[in-house]
Amino acid sequence: GSSGGGENESGGESASGRAQKIIKNDGKGAIVKNGKLVTILSTEQMRGISLIDKNTKRGHVKIENVTANGFKNADLCFEIFDKTSKKEGSFWGDKPVFNFDVDLVVKLEEVVMENLTLNNMKSVQNYVTGEVENKLKITLENEISQIVNVAKNEKADVLGVYEYFHKYHYTFLQEY
């Protein structure tokens, strides 16, 4: 039978015989300019957008190969259960400078490690210290950096930078 979208279960064609266009989302995104696909964004780049977006409050971040705080070659997955994000921009001389300030509240959600038992884990402990904190920070900075670079290279304002400068520094923006 046909589904509600006019799609046949076996071939992806409608009753009229024309192939339907299907959009599949596996965590990636796209930048489209003037109706043309410019680039596909990776899952990491999409997480970078989510980290910067002030409206996104939750998410996940994974760090790999942690050997610290009682972990040995462990992969740790953290849930982001609260986040604040601020954008600030100004002109330094004649160059626009933009800063993203992101504060996260995370909790350790999953540990993947050989020979891990519940006896290894303490129910109340701050695991985000030392090497874990450093790896978490590097991972988050990398994800933000990736999307910033894509936005610059593709001249696509997926981060709201132009909108910010237009709103708060219009005169300088016109001269730039």
| Interval 85-114: pLDDT, tens | 998 888 888 888 888 899 999 999 999 999
From 154, 119, 129, 126, select the one nearest 45 (Cα to Cα): 154
Can you give the pTM of this predicted structure?
Answer: 0.71
Distance CA 135, CA 143 (A): 12
- Asked if 176 and 94 count as a contact pair (C-beta separation under 8 A), the reply is yes
pLDDT band of residue 24 (cuts 50, 70, 90) is low
End-to-end Cα distance, the chain: 59
Which of 17-21, 86-90, 144-148, 159-163 has the weakest average pLDDT? 17-21
DSSP at 8: B
CA angle, corner 92, sides to 55 and 138, nearest 5?
50
Task: Return the minimum-mean-pLDDT range out of 55-59, 68-72, 102-106.
Answer: 68-72
Name every residue whose Cβ is closer than 8 Å to that of residue 131 and which is 6 or more positions away in sequence. 66, 67, 68, 69
Q: What is the pLDDT of residue 17?
A: 62
Instruction: Read off the pLDDT of each residue in 134-160 and give the average, rounded to a whole number.
Output: 91
Q: What is the mean pLDDT of residues 119-130?
A: 74
Q: How far apart (Å, rounded) are the C-alpha atoms in residues 90 and 98?
A: 7
Q: Which residues contact 48 (CB under 8 A, 6 or more apart)?
A: 143, 144, 145, 146, 147, 148
- What tokens appear for 63 in the block? 């760090």
Does position 49 have pLDDT exceeding 60, yes or no?
yes
Q: Please give the DSSP secondary-structure letter assigned to residue 2.
A: B
- Tokens read off for 157: 């304002």
